[in-house]
Amino acid sequence: MLTSPVGLVTDLDGTVVFDGVADPQLPSFLRRVSQRGDVSVIVATSRAPRGVAEVLGDAVTCLDGMACFNGALLRLGSEERRHCMRRQHVRAVVDAAFRIGVPAYVDQGHSFTVLTPPGREKGLGSGLEHMRDYLDGRWCADPAQVPVDDVLKVTVVSRGLADSEGAVPGWGAGAAEGAGVLQALLGLRLDGVTAYPHEDGVVDVCAAGVDKSICMRLLPGGEALAATSSTAINEGTDVAGEPATTAHTAALLPQAVSTWVAAGNDVNDVAMIRAADVGITVGDGLEGVRARRQTVRVPSRPGAVVSVLERMLGL
């Protein structure tokens, strides 16, 4: 059992969502937890809010918050904080992807723009076919048409760069060596960004300092979240805050948090698991990653994470 109040932060894909489908036990779990007054649930994901709603359906209303785009967009209650990339960094990544002929897209939260190589209209054969049905997307084949303001994340789809054994250059480096990943992948030396490579051949690029542990941090002076001015956003000011503590600003969550629990499976989950009191790692990856007090490893399959959380929470 965990000391209450509990703050639960969970990744989605590869943790409680598999092949784009939520664990069948997840909606019921979220609804039961939402009836308790001592547990706050936050989803921390590389997805946009539209993608969270897509996989969770009506159960999305059970969440107390979201850390989307690997933490670049934080929503808690009615408050929102955006940590956008610098304009010149967005332009550099987009241009580099276009030069080598791989698709990329920039996401501003409220909309996204996909840049596809010539001949791949609407993302066909680009690995982005699943995004064609989103109503807030725009598709183009000219990098000059891609917006660079208020961009939360640039995603490069590099599956076509895999070698004969399926390995993608730079993979395994992790977020801490993001600049090296971009150099290996795009021939681009770029400081001031964080790159998260994923096993499916996708690289997420965010502003420096962005990670999922943002939802477990105190803001300076214990202030509530606020939308940052457009100037500060695009200048890419650092994410502020201290490592997770046993207290939390009352304006951000329903009550102070005594125990943080974090569950994840990928390199973009490392920071939040290390910041948590109790960590749940999924699958065989993330070797050596430990939470502050306790770490549990579960198999990569539906039901595994939910079952552990049910036992921890006494459900």
Listed in sequence order, the residues at least 6 apart from 112 whose beta carbon sits closer than 8 Å to its beta carbon are: 48, 105, 106, 131, 134, 136, 137, 138
**pLDDT at 133 > cutoff 80:** no
Please state the rounded mean pLDDT for residues 172-186: 61
CA-atom Rg of the chain in angstroms: 19
**pLDDT at 124 > cutoff 60:** no
Place domain 6-83+211-313 in its CATH homologous superfamily: HAD superfamily/HAD-like (3.40.50.1000)
Domain ranges of the chain: 6-83+211-313, 87-207
**pLDDT at 174 > cutoff 60:** no
What pLDDT score was predicted for residue 207? 95
Q: At what angle do helices 304-313 and 26-34 cross, to 10 degrees?
A: 20
5 cis-preceded (ω within 30 degrees of 0): yes
**pLDDT at 166 > cutoff 80:** no
Quickly name the fold that domain 87-207 has: 3.30.1240
Query: How far apart are the C-alpha atoms of 216 and 221, rounded to whole Å?
Result: 15
Average pLDDT, the chain: 81
**pLDDT at 227 > cutoff 60:** no
What pLDDT score was predicted for residue 120? 56
pLDDT digits (tens, 9 = 90+) for 260-305: 999 999 999 999 999 999 999 999 888 889 999 999 999 999 999 9
What pLDDT score was predicted for residue 101? 86
